[in-house]
Chain A
Amino acid sequence: MLEYFDPRKDSHPAIDYGTPPSSRDLVPISELITLSIDGHDVQVPEGTSVMRAAVMAGIHIPKLCSTDSLEAFGSCRMCLVHIEGRRGYPASCTTPAEEGMQVRTHNDSLAKLRRNVMEMYISDHPLDCLTCAANGDCELQDMAGVVGLRHVRYGYEGNHHLGIEKDTSNPYFTFDSSKCIVCSRCVRACEETQGTFALTIFGRGFESRVSPGQNQDFVDSECVSCGACVQACPTATLTETSIIDKGQPDHSVITTCAYCGVGCAFKADMQGDQVVRMTPWKQGKANRGHSCVKGRFAFGYVTHSDRITTPMLRESIDQPWRKVSFEEAFEFAAKRIRGIQKQYGRTAVGGITSSRCTNEETYLVQKMVRAAFGNNNVDTCARVCHSPTGFGLKTTFGESAGTQTFDSVEKTDVMMVIGANPTDAHPVFASRLKKRLREGAKLIVVDPRTIDLVRSPHIKADYHLTLRPGTNVAFINAMAHVIVTEGLQADQFIAERCDVEAFEQWKTFISDVRHSPESTEQYTGISAAQMRGAARLFAQEGNGAIYYGLGVTEHSQGSSMVMGIANLAMLTGNIGREGVGVNPLRGQNNVQGSCDMGSFPHELPGYRHISSEAVRRVFEKAWHVTLDPEPGYRITNMLDAAVEGTYKGLYVQGEDIAQSDPNTRHVEEALRNIECLIVQDIFLNETAKFAHVFLPGSSFLEKNGTFTNAERRISPVRQVMAPLCGLVDWQVTLGLSKALGYEMAYNHPSDIMDEIASLTPTFANVSYERLEEEGSLQWPCNDDHPDGTPIMHVEQFTRGKGYFALTEYVPTEEKVTRRFPLLLTTGRILSQYNVGAQTRRTENSSWHAEDVLEIHPHDAEDRGINDGDIVAMVSRAGDTQLRAKVSSKMQPGVVYTTFHHPESGANVITTDNSDWATNCPEYKVTAVQVTKVTGTERVSQWQTQFAEFTKKQIALLNGSEGDEQ
């Protein structure tokens, strides 16, 4: 068998190899080249730098400007070496190793050169090492020591930069240019790693200085605070403010970020049980050492004073909260739940699992609902985001998950990004995507808005198809129509891999002229020429990958669109290898996991239908209960039934339906009707204001467990501090379940994972031991795929043959009318996350203190709206007021806002329209009217009620009656 060198396995995470591996691909051992460094033979892949080769041989050549996350730069001149037969002193970082090369890394003249260069550095550097924030973590200090610099003959009287003022404009890090050695690592990190190009070197010669933008402050520049520059800085020039305040960490723990579905691996840098810094972990397979402003810096919410750390209860929601013991809270809740079931029936209660919590915790909540509540009324927030993904991909491919790894993008030739805004919502993946685009991959953006990806430094979309919200299916059908009618499809792939009968039927359907770009233009607003151009590009450019977000799923035809995307991928043969595939960008850290864990009312863990007796029997045996064969309520059913008065008890773990779900007034009415609302959260969120029992939650830093990201990657979450309330979430669920009379015995989350593995074929080989060894695992991970499954459907589809589903375009009922002439679509911004419960409690709010309504200049002009005006927005569901931002990123007729702040009431506007198959709400299309607010009435009726209710609930939290204040 051929032996391979694996550049990603055969390297040690704690070592900086100076330059990146020449490629991430495996290299047969026989193809390695051999060179001699200081007399030691070392074998490396072709293209490896002499510096990296030396490190592999255990020889660390002095260096300052190089680090293995960035391409070699060759500026510091510390890494010069002597190479037999070559003139001068080549820099080892920029010199590729060659077969038979004889390298000396050290001799007297090299030592002298290095010392003399170091002498230059120190002649323009403050000598305050002992009081410097980087003391103990400074490469300049280390190298000065290595080269043995003892004296600076130039003195310190010459020209220097020591007086430059610090830039403290960024809330999370400080830029102290006086300590800068102009190695450009920050500039290159901003370019290569992050892809923002916010930093540059300003000036020439001695006056060359690192500068954000054009000599701006960091906060005024294009900087997105991803932290890559801080990470790359070898000195104290760019340092986390927390490190300046607290000092260097004493130990670190590897864990997984709890923000978006990218699932970045982080090193929690600790002092005792205090997190002093979060740094992206180089070996993390999802993020490969990169981060964004949320994961990197916005962790302060964990210890925010708003955290509630004691269980509380109250008889009704107009009473003050009473702090109680966990036991009392459990007893109270259990008694009420059982009472409700007695009075209103077994199915009058249910639970909502959290996509923020771990797999183990989510599994427990659905288990408790099914086993202790005795019904299947369990659902999760995926209902309102990616439920169509699960349905659509299961139908066409046979598995409810994305097909690729994030690494796959490195092999993509043409990418289509539909209804996703990766630079804001999945920033770390966006950086990897942009890197590939800068390497020359083609880009098709399908979005009503001009998202940043359409045009950003060194990136320009080949096509930006500005479709009208609600016409996704017409668009995807037209794409397929062009490919089929122009004969661009992958015939061999279809014949070998797909259900040919279904394909033929679909082919007849899609070939009909009603799907032609010329016919669909009237709906989509995309010109036929653009449409045909994009279709040809996608079909013909090589490896084609589709990335999509909630702009695909949150529609009345969300499931149809997902199937349309799957059809397109199969049609072009873009499934089953690197560089291709269907890639749903999942919103929450564990939304994939919560779906995997059986959070849906009709599915047990592993997406197995509750109606299957064989499946039920497996769980019944393990759980020692009889399971209800009927699927339970979805969230929407629960809320509707609550309004009707037939649904009375709800346990909500780590989810804020009062803010995040559509048609807020309907949600609020439902919540008011519930007689026992149990909310488990780290804050008194909007939903908790309607609750009777509050169970304090624990953040990701306080627990052990696993999250599963958008690539099906199961990553460990590790406890770095004790839970503030004394129990972690899974223990709280155990307590509640016990009080309900259903006792579950686990000593550690690993026990729960063992149970999951034993009951779920796709998780069969997952265990904490394996995760410890591998760092992370992508499911399916079982005997067929012992090391997990990076790419799915390689040999055949999970369902056998790929299925082409018919996807007729049915326009949404939500249409513009004279009364509601604009379409509202909603989304996210970079600095805030989802309902904002966490990010609003960090300095991130300095970038986005309120939600604004973006409106095209024409629509603004028609309404006399100026930038910054307060406007009223009304839909058939409700009305709210917020500040307008006039933006040409919008197309005329479309307005946009976010829902990061509850008082904005974005979801007061959204309606209860939903996906035909999964009830995923149609957040992305609401017909509205927007008018300028002229009178003194500056808030809507709902906002007034909201403010009063919030004020009262805060008072009740603080132990008073509220009304008396």
Chain B
Amino acid sequence: MTIRVYIPRDSSALSMGAEDVAIAMRRAVSDQDVDIVRNGSRGLYWLEPMVEVETPAGRVAYGPVQAKDVIGLIAQGLLQGKQNHRLSLGLTEDIPYLKRQQRLTFARAGIIDPVSLEAYKAMDGYQGLERALQMGDQAIVDEVKASGLRGRGGAAFPTGIKWQTVLDAEAKQKYIVCNADEGDSGTFADRLQMEADPFGLIEGMTIAGLAVGATQGYIYLREEYPHAHDILNEAIARATAQGYLGDNILQSGNGFHLDVRLGAKAYICGEETALLESLEGKRGMVRPKPPIPALEGLFGQPTVVNNVLSLSTVAIILAKGAGFYKGFGMGRSLGTMPFQLAGNIKYAGLVEVALGVTLKELLFDFGGGSLTGRPLRAVQVGGPLGTYLPESQWEVAMDYEAMTTLGAVLGHGGIVAFDDSVDMAEQARFSMAFCVEESCGKCTPCRIGSTRGVEVIDRIRANQDRENNLQLLEELCETMVDSSLCAMGGMTPFPVQSALKHFAEDFAKDPVKDYAN
């Protein structure tokens, strides 16, 4: 009987040596009936490359595996699923980090060969589309509205309401645009999804097309994701060949075409209007709103712009129903959120759980505390524009409303942890410096204000005219928040203000840092 071995082709696994592991494995089992499947990652990054073997009891895992480990693993019965090697992890599904999650959007991630349509369909794939094809456009939009799904890219705008606007707009051509320009520091969920389960995204976009009457979709992918690019293109080609994309989807008479477009390494192109400019072949600069993209988006036509996770989640909502999805989460934050643990954290990886989990649970129950073993001191949630949360705030429930009450954002679900060796004045400076680099340069507060922000913080740290400069920094932050054109300039001050508020000692005249213990 064929033995099936899984070795991920996910970028993170590859960066940890998965390709070498695969080569070594292929060589080692060349005389045996072994099928090596290149799956996506399950998102347990400290275990990558994680090799799995199918056994009658289920898949068992080994990790992190290096090429040099392969001979020994096989010698110790890897192909039979034996669990006596030091890298043995037992049944994959029983790994606590995974077991405690509620994987909906990521239900297939790491389990299947990402470009196998058969494997996708075997795990409920395209059930959402098939159901959607039986419904009218308005019914699909209603279903998404009822699910309570909000934009997972960061802005948390209700997806169904956005779709309704596009559905109601009259135009010869409408577009679905997937924002896959995942640029927030410490985030990787979009990439993981696209590399592990691209059909989920393709299905979601197809459903979106049906819902609003769009026949063309674009995935705007950041150039730094070459593996995702390959996988998406292969998946699109296969979906097209099988009639899931094209002029006549599943003989329904409805058409939907999908293309991938690459960005050019600009953080700002994750902002939806800058993304649209870039997609049109122009310099990625933010457009003022109104008009909103739902009415005048790509090439001036009504356009749905949704994040990878939002669109992928739509497939589950349509397959299982809005009621199923909104059974997760709390209040107005319904469903699950794929959190991404990164930074100084012991168990970095993807944690998809219902909205409402506390930050503390994520940091410690999942993340296992800091990687260095030192006490955690600050956590930045929601990317480089998110606020820094001090320990006193870690009991916060991770939902949109609770975070707002703290002046914080959930964003795209990125969580970056820092231990007590962090210099928060340096981190504040970094926020401004990041804006200096990544601002599109259009509006003045963002373009000039960020540079002045770096300079003022430098002066404060150098004890030059401290009081006046602190006052100036505060006013600068307010000016940027109140007058910037988009969230880039408008949120750059958040980390700065939170650092000033919660970690004032780091800005003190003679900051005392105790690294002794």
Contact = CB atoms under 8 A, between A and B. Distances in A.
B170 to A, nearest CB: 16
Interface in A178-227: 181-182, 184, 200-201, 203-208
Nearest to A204: B441
A87 to B, nearest CB: 10
Interface stretch (A23-31, A119-127, A234-242, A739-747): A119-127
Nearest to A64: B444
Given A120-B452, A158-B455, A206 B436 contact: yes
Given A76-B444, A120-B449, A124-B448, A205 B438 contact: yes
Contacts of A109: 482
A46 to B, nearest CB: 13
Which of A75, A76, A109, A207 has the most CB atoms of chain B within a 10 A radius of its CB? A75
Interface residues of B, number: 36
A639 to B, nearest CB: 54
Nearest to B458: A158
B283 interface: yes
Contacts of A76: 443-444
Contacts of A74: 288, 443, 485
B353 interface: no
A342 interface: no
Contacts of B441: 182, 201, 203-208
Contacts of A113: 479, 482-483
B266 interface: yes
Contacts of B476: 116
Interface in B49-92: none
A203 B264 CA distance: 12
B96 to A, nearest CB: 43
A180 to B, nearest CB: 12
Interface string B440-472: 111111111111100110000000000010001
Interface stretch (A90-98, A287-295, A304-312): A90-98
Interface in A89-135: 89, 91, 93-96, 109, 113, 116-117, 120-121, 123-124
B447 A205 contact: yes
A89 B485 CA distance: 10
Contacts of B498: none
B288 A205 contact: no
B482 A89 contact: yes
A206 B450 contact: yes
Contacts of A73: 288, 442
A594 B450 CA distance: 61
Contact of A75 (B266, B289, B442, B479): B442
B288 A77 contact: no
Nearest to B455: A158
Which of A93, A200, A201, A208 has the most CB atoms of chain B within a 10 A radius of its CB? A208
Contacts of B436: 205-206
A343 interface: no
A1 B444 CA distance: 49
B484 interface: yes
B160 to A, nearest CB: 23
Given A77-B484, A201-B441, A204-B437, A121 B288 contact: no
A74 B444 CA distance: 10
Interface in B258-280: 266, 268
Given A74-B443, A75-B442, A116-B476, A205 B452 contact: no
A493 interface: no
B443 A77 contact: yes
Which of A75, A204, A208 has the most CB atoms of chain B within a 10 A radius of its CB? A204
Which of B448, B456, B475 has the most CB atoms of chain A within a 10 A radius of its CB? B448
B310 interface: no
Nearest to A77: B483
Contacts of B450: 205-206
Given A154-B455, A204-B441, A72 B483 contact: no
Contacts of A124: 448
A89 B483 contact: yes
B303 to A, nearest CB: 16
Contacts of B283: 200-201
A206 B443 contact: no
A206 B479 contact: no
A231 B283 CA distance: 23
B13 interface: no
A88 interface: yes
Nearest to B488: A205
A116 B449 CA distance: 10
B448 A116 contact: no
B443 A75 contact: yes
Contacts of B253: none
Nearest to A121: B444
A892 to B, nearest CB: 32
Given A77-B484, A89-B482, A204 B444 contact: no
A205 B443 contact: no
Contacts of A75: 442-444, 485
A96 B290 contact: yes
Given A77-B483, A204-B440, A123 B288 contact: no
Contacts of A492: none
A12 interface: no
B451 A206 contact: yes
Contacts of B288: 72-74, 91, 93-94
A208 B451 contact: no
A838 to B, nearest CB: 38
A508 interface: no
A208 B479 contact: no
Nearest to B469: A153
A480 to B, nearest CB: 29
A439 to B, nearest CB: 9
Contacts of B445: 77, 117, 120
A561 interface: no
A205 B484 contact: no
A159 interface: yes
B285 A201 contact: yes
B482 A159 contact: no
A872 interface: no
Nearest to A159: B451
B479 A116 contact: yes
Contacts of A182: 441, 444, 447
B398 interface: no
Given A201-B283, A204-B437, A204-B441, A121 B485 contact: no
A822 B484 CA distance: 62
A117 B285 CA distance: 20
A476 to B, nearest CB: 31
B435 interface: yes
A93 B440 CA distance: 20
A123 B435 contact: no
Contacts of B333: none
B497 interface: no
Given A77-B443, A124-B448, A205-B437, A95 B290 contact: yes
B439 interface: yes
A423 B185 CA distance: 48
A80 interface: yes
A91 B452 CA distance: 23
Which of A96, A181, A182, A184 has the most CB atoms of chain B within a 10 A radius of its CB? A182
Contacts of A153: 468, 472
Contacts of B442: 73, 75, 184, 201, 208
24 contacts: A75-B442, A76-B443, A89-B482, A96-B290, A116-B483, A120-B448, A120-B449, A121-B444, A123-B448, A123-B452, A154-B452, A159-B451, A159-B455, A182-B441, A200-B283, A204-B437, A204-B439, A204-B440, A205-B439, A205-B450, A205-B451, A206-B450, A208-B440, A208-B441
Given A116-B476, A158-B451, 15 more contacts: A73-B442, A75-B485, A89-B482, A91-B288, A113-B482, A116-B483, A154-B456, A154-B472, A182-B441, A182-B444, A201-B442, A205-B435, A205-B447, A205-B450, A208-B441
Closest 7 CB pairs of A and B: A208-B441, A74-B288, A94-B288, A205-B439, A120-B448, A116-B479, A206-B451
